[in-house]
Chain A
Amino acid sequence: MQVMRRRMRSHKGFLIGAGILLVLILIAALAPWIAPYDPLETKLVARLLPPAWEQGGRWEYLLGTDHLGRDYLSRLLYGSRISLAIGFGAASLGCLIGVTLGVCAGYFGGRIDQAVNYILTCQLALPGLLLTMALVFLIGPSLLVVVCVIGGLHWTYYLVVTRSATMQIRRLDYVTAAQAIGSTPLQIILYEVLPNVRNQIIVIFTLEVGIAILAEAALSFLGVGIQPPTPSWGLMIAEGKTAMFYRPWLVVLPGLAIFLLVIATNLMGDGLRDVTAPEGRN
């Protein structure tokens, strides 16, 4: 534990990623207090204002306004809530599904392993985005539906990693010792197996957060994700794309926000992987 803390402190990528993520989480939590305007308030007299430093920009709208005259900065700040909620929500759901299947397949082996592998093969053969769109379309778009659909389709990494890790741990003597003292499989999985795959799961989780955020952006961009007028970064790009060539900030700013959030989670994931690696394997 102490070694890990020391390694974390000296790992630049991890520190940068974690720092950015922390700031973004703070922004999401404090959005109502720091946003200068209501993100839904339209002001048609102030439509499509450029950011303040450009020609024609006004300082009261720091990052300009969109086609309905809504303050772009406020929308970006509120949009972080959607992105983070979907990122963490979907990654958690995927984690639950993938880890459960992976640990069961790895621990019990045999038929169960074969069945899980079959499910995995099917999942890998599905065209992900298409299926996501179809599902959201069928059930109807809402934040919860988007989280469930993205999470329900992004669990393969968890499964593959936990399955092989569990198969390794299962062969070790401390698992045999636990069996020999009469532990049930559930007790063994919770007490002996999961603590030893925890680090791998955390690493995949951070990477999956980034993937889920991108998936939400893509869905919203295609119009089957978050519905207007809720501020979502993907949706903001979609709304801005018609004016992309003469009002580039409408696309660039939310694009930058997405980039920043995803790169932060990835940096943190990579950093965690290095930090938690066993001695001498960096």
Chain B
Amino acid sequence: MSRENQAVGAPPALRVEGLHVDIALPHGTLHAVRNLSFSLPRGEALGIVGESGSGKSMTALALMGLLPPNANRRAGAMQVGGRDLLAMSDKQIAQDIAGRRMAMVFQEPMNSLNPVYTIGRQLTETMLLHGGTSQAAATERAIYLLDKVGIPDAHSRLHQYPHQLSGGQRQRVMIAMALMNEPDLIIADEPTTALDVTVQAQILRLLSDLQREFGMAMILITHDLGIVSRTVDRIAVMYAGELVETGSVQDVLRGPQHPYTRGLLDCVPGAKRETGRRLGSIPGLVPSLIGEIRGCAFANRCSRAGEACYTAPPPLNATDDGTHAYRCVLPASWSRSSADMHLGELREAAAVQQSTTEQKPQAVLSAREVSCSFVVQHSVFAKPRRLHAVDGVSLELMRGEVLALVGESGCGKTTLAKILLGLLTADRGQMLLDGRDLAGVPALERTRRIQPVFQDPYSSLNPRKTIGETVMRPLEIHRIGTRAQQQRRAEEMLDLVQMPLRLFHSYPGQISGGQRQRVAIARALVTEPAVLICDEPTSALDVSVQSQILNLLSDLRDQLGLTYLIITHDLSVVEHMATRVAVMYLGQIVEISDKDALFAARRHPYTRALLRSLLKMLPGVPVPDPSVGSGFPNPLEIPAGCRFHPRCPEAEQRCGRELPELGPDQVRCLLYDARNPRWTNDPIPA
């Protein structure tokens, strides 16, 4: 059933007017959502985009009636399929609306299924709970939907427990569960954030397909502009609890009107195929949502803010045809005048990159045939099994380069990083630092040369130590300089990472996530290391903060001549930062190549699958099929032959028998042939 078949004048799937969500906190009232109005026609998909704290999740919870007890919801109108939610009691909503007319898919598939019940019971329960259905009919529908969401052998899966499924499969079950009662509206809150990239593409594709097939309306909440550009019809951009811009995907992403939307788009790495350029960034912080904001909420970060922006709330402007609305004083044409300004200035010192590659490159840190395995024993009586986390990895980190290590979760990239940092000892293999065997280098000397930057800025700083103490600590450990010298050096480092010195005596709890990450970088750099090993340095940060940190890392590399190993699953970060890429799968390196070569032509089938899963901002282009098996790599059960062959779309019979080697082309694939045009002349589809 398609959209056109709907009767004209039928009520929209969802209409919200003047929605406010206030949260009572001990020191004031936090206005999480302020005066939000939108309507969603049947069968349409709306993407709500915003950074953390923008109120997008609160909006979803308010719609579902799942707000925390200290939150208060007010609205002018809230209608689902023409039925007024405000006129209904909580009990009525729970019976007739929630889970029935609208359903929700949550972010964490690990936590949203109850581990003690079979998935069959959890699926049928959602239907039986509302009454009027027999067990047999519910079971039949459960099997039908499991099949629909791409879970093979659905009938026998009903008796399985959540822990027997992979993360991607659990999210599929969650989607099936949301569809059990044939809802008119499905709300997906960051449905793929916790998943690997290939699985993310599969799940998003599935969601879009099902949404069209069942003619449902969908609200997709995400912080990822690439995802919305590929899955929804309309976009709503939220900032500080307000809707700042709304319109069709094409209009908003191609011609953003609100300065915030423009800023956000400039922050996305890899959106424009221009490396060597700085990413745009949005200076400043989101204003406190406690108390009233008199003018425009974005005024304090907006480069074009005038006096009026601080005093009066901005008007709701619309472009010519009226479908594209934004809340800003600027006229609709302002952006056209400066169309290409937002590409960002060319990075001045990009020359560093060239000069170091022209000289004979020297390996700073290299791993030779490094292996590391753990013994896993699930219970006292179970047979202990060996988990080969890293298996015969050879890697050279050249001076001045940015090597990206890419792979899905469980592929051993974090273990490899720990070995390189000296936090884990390899079972086999040799590590060289500046050509010297690392086993013979004293620990303190090694730690001065190689330093880590972590993913989670909230756990990487000791909450009981001030910023200054944290940055000075490495100098104390290494007994460098007097107390006064250490303090001066720490101040220099904070200055280098653009941290205001007045925060020297602050505790980590008093600063933002981006600032914490800056402090973590300052701590890593204070002993003047040659190599930084960054484990997902930006994936826990908001888009606008992520771009600031990536810019900072680029600048520091140019200033200090650092060498980076960046571990990430985010290919857009790779595209922006890296000079060389190593792809890892199940403990092995499957491909090493220059970044440009990697993005230019297909090489290893797994790399290709990863690249196809990369959701660039391309409005209107549907989510691609990564064409890779959905089975997740399990390091406890390593397949015979090529490790990737069970998921490989190109696999032939011999792939299950023979072991591929990392050949002279640096591609671990039996089928790869550099001279065959089938492999080299096939650019990655956009």
Contacting B447 at CB < 8 Å: which of A173, A180, A191, A192? A180
- The residue on A at minimum CB distance from B452 is A180
- Please, which residues of chain B bring their CB within 8 A of the CB of A56? none
| B464 x A195 contact (CB < 8 A) | yes
Q: How far is the CA of A140 from the CA of B655 in the complex (A)?
A: 79
| B460 x A177 contact (CB < 8 A) | yes
Contacting A196 at CB < 8 Å: which of B443, B462, B477? B462
Q: When each residue 586-622 of chain B gets 1 if its CB lies under 8 Å from chain A and 0 otherwise, what string results?
A: 0000000000000000000000000000000000000
Interface-central residue, A172, A181, A187, by most chain B CB under 10 Å: A181
- Please, which residues of chain A bring their CB within 8 A of the CB of B422? 180
Q: How far is the CA of A183 from the CA of B477 in the complex (A)?
A: 6
- Please, which residues of chain B bring their CB within 8 A of the CB of A180? 421-423, 447, 450-452
Interface of A is mostly: helix
| B460 x A174 contact (CB < 8 A) | yes
| B465 x A195 contact (CB < 8 A) | yes
- Please, which residues of chain B bring their CB within 8 A of the CB of A179? 423
| B451 x A172 contact (CB < 8 A) | no
Interface residues of A in 154-211 (CB under 8 A from B): 172-174, 176-183, 187, 191-192, 195-196, 198
- The residue on B at minimum CB distance from A184 is B477
Is B444 among interface residues, defined by CB-CB distance under 8 A? yes
- Please, which residues of chain B bring their CB within 8 A of the CB of A191? 462, 465, 473
- The residue on A at minimum CB distance from B533 is A180
Q: Contacts A173-B454, A176-B452, A187-B477: A181 and B527 contacting too (C-beta < 8 A)?
A: yes
Interface residues of B in 440-468 (CB under 8 A from A): 443-444, 446-448, 450-452, 454-456, 459-465
CB distance from B466 to the nearest CB of A (A): 11
CB distance from A177 to the nearest CB of B (A): 6
- The residue on A at minimum CB distance from B524 is A177
- Please, which residues of chain A bring their CB within 8 A of the CB of B477? 178, 181-183, 187
- The residue on A at minimum CB distance from B464 is A195
| A177 x B444 contact (CB < 8 A) | no
Q: How far is the CA of A185 from the CA of B544 in the complex (A)?
A: 38
| A176 x B444 contact (CB < 8 A) | no
- The residue on A at minimum CB distance from B447 is A182
- Please, which residues of chain A bring their CB within 8 A of the CB of B523? 177, 181
CB distance from A125 to the nearest CB of B (A): 22
CB distance from A171 to the nearest CB of B (A): 8
CB distance from A195 to the nearest CB of B (A): 4
- The residue on B at minimum CB distance from A192 is B462
Q: How far is the CA of A183 from the CA of B443 in the complex (A)?
A: 10
CB distance from B509 to the nearest CB of A (A): 9
Q: Contacts A180-B452, A182-B477, A183-B477: A174 and B461 contacting too (C-beta < 8 A)?
A: yes
| A176 x B447 contact (CB < 8 A) | no
Number of CB contacts from chain A to chain B under 8 A: 58
CB distance from B547 to the nearest CB of A (A): 22
| B527 x A176 contact (CB < 8 A) | no
CB distance from B464 to the nearest CB of A (A): 4
Q: How far is the CA of A172 from the CA of B443 in the complex (A)?
A: 21
Is B520 among interface residues, defined by CB-CB distance under 8 A? yes
- Please, which residues of chain A bring their CB within 8 A of the CB of B465? 191, 195
| B452 x A174 contact (CB < 8 A) | no
- Please, which residues of chain A bring their CB within 8 A of the CB of B462? 174, 191-192, 195-196
Q: How far is the CA of A19 from the CA of B461 in the complex (A)?
A: 36
Contacting B459 at CB < 8 Å: which of A173, A181, A183? A173
- Please, which residues of chain A bring their CB within 8 A of the CB of B450? 180
Q: How far is the CA of A265 from the CA of B452 in the complex (A)?
A: 45
- The residue on A at minimum CB distance from B450 is A180
Q: How far is the CA of A195 from the CA of B455 in the complex (A)?
A: 23
- Please, which residues of chain A bring their CB within 8 A of the CB of B130? none
- Please, which residues of chain A bring their CB within 8 A of the CB of B423? 176, 179-180
CB distance from B589 to the nearest CB of A (A): 23
| A181 x B460 contact (CB < 8 A) | no
Q: How far is the CA of A179 from the CA of B451 in the complex (A)?
A: 10
CB distance from B489 to the nearest CB of A (A): 14
| B463 x A196 contact (CB < 8 A) | yes
- The residue on A at minimum CB distance from B418 is A176
- The residue on A at minimum CB distance from B460 is A173
| A174 x B447 contact (CB < 8 A) | no
Q: How far is the CA of A195 from the CA of B507 in the complex (A)?
A: 13
Q: When each residue 459-494 of chain B gets 1 if its CB lies under 8 Å from chain A and 0 otherwise, what string results?
A: 111111100000001100110000000000000000
- Please, which residues of chain B bring their CB within 8 A of the CB of A187? 477
- Please, which residues of chain A bring their CB within 8 A of the CB of B460? 172-174, 177
- Please, which residues of chain A bring their CB within 8 A of the CB of B447? 180-182
Q: When each residue 335-373 of chain B gets 1 if its CB lies under 8 Å from chain A and 0 otherwise, what string results?
A: 000000000000000000000000000000000000000
Q: Contacts A191-B473, A192-B462, A195-B464: A182 and B456 contacting too (C-beta < 8 A)?
A: no
- The residue on B at minimum CB distance from A178 is B473
| B443 x A182 contact (CB < 8 A) | yes
Interface-central residue, B450, B452, B462, by most chain A CB under 10 Å: B462
- Please, which residues of chain B bring their CB within 8 A of the CB of A196? 462-464
CB distance from A109 to the nearest CB of B (A): 14
Q: When each residue 53-93 of chain A gets 1 if its CB lies under 8 Å from chain B and 0 otherwise, what string results?
A: 00000000000000000000000000000000000000000
- Please, which residues of chain B bring their CB within 8 A of the CB of A198? 464
- Please, which residues of chain B bring their CB within 8 A of the CB of A183? 477
- Please, which residues of chain A bring their CB within 8 A of the CB of B461? 174
- Please, which residues of chain B bring their CB within 8 A of the CB of A174? 459-462
- Please, which residues of chain B bring their CB within 8 A of the CB of A192? 462
CB distance from A20 to the nearest CB of B (A): 28
| B452 x A182 contact (CB < 8 A) | no
Q: How far is the CA of A192 from the CA of B524 in the complex (A)?
A: 16
Q: How far is the CA of A43 from the CA of B271 in the complex (A)?
A: 96
Q: How far is the CA of A177 from the CA of B460 in the complex (A)?
A: 7
CB distance from A135 to the nearest CB of B (A): 36
CB distance from B468 to the nearest CB of A (A): 14
Interface-central residue, B477, B478, B523, by most chain A CB under 10 Å: B477
Q: How far is the CA of A181 from the CA of B526 in the complex (A)?
A: 10
CB distance from B686 to the nearest CB of A (A): 37
- The residue on B at minimum CB distance from A179 is B423
Interface residues of B in 478-525 (CB under 8 A from A): 478, 520, 523-524
Q: Contacts A182-B443, A183-B477: A176 and B454 contacting too (C-beta < 8 A)?
A: yes
- Please, which residues of chain B bring their CB within 8 A of the CB of A173? 454-456, 459-460
CB distance from A151 to the nearest CB of B (A): 27
- The residue on A at minimum CB distance from B455 is A173
CB distance from A207 to the nearest CB of B (A): 22
- Please, which residues of chain A bring their CB within 8 A of the CB of B473? 178, 181, 191
Interface-central residue, A173, A179, A191, by most chain B CB under 10 Å: A173
- Please, which residues of chain B bring their CB within 8 A of the CB of A181? 447, 451, 473-474, 477-478, 523, 527
CB distance from B457 to the nearest CB of A (A): 9
Q: How far is the CA of A178 from the CA of B670 in the complex (A)?
A: 43
CB distance from A170 to the nearest CB of B (A): 11
Q: How far is the CA of A187 from the CA of B476 in the complex (A)?
A: 11
- The residue on A at minimum CB distance from B456 is A173
Q: How far is the CA of A192 from the CA of B462 in the complex (A)?
A: 7
Q: How far is the CA of A263 from the CA of B422 in the complex (A)?
A: 51
- Please, which residues of chain A bring their CB within 8 A of the CB of B478? 181-182
CB distance from B154 to the nearest CB of A (A): 38
- The residue on A at minimum CB distance from B26 is A280
Q: How far is the CA of A192 from the CA of B448 in the complex (A)?
A: 19
CB distance from A181 to the nearest CB of B (A): 4
Interface residues of A in 10-47 (CB under 8 A from B): none
Given contacts A174-B462, A177-B524, A181-B478, 4 further A-B contacts (CB under 8 A): A173-B459, A191-B465, A196-B462, A198-B464
Ordered nearest first, which 8 A-B pairs have the shortest CB separation?
A182-B447, A173-B460, A195-B464, A173-B454, A172-B459, A181-B474, A182-B444, A174-B462
Interface residues, chain B, with chain A CB atoms under 8 Å away: 421-423, 443-444, 446-448, 450-452, 454-456, 459-465, 473-474, 477-478, 520, 523-524, 527
| 19 chain-A/chain-B pairs, Cβ below 8 angstroms | A173-B459, A174-B459, A176-B423, A176-B452, A177-B523, A178-B473, A178-B477, A180-B421, A180-B447, A181-B451, A181-B473, A181-B477, A181-B527, A182-B448, A183-B477, A187-B477, A195-B462, A196-B462, A196-B464
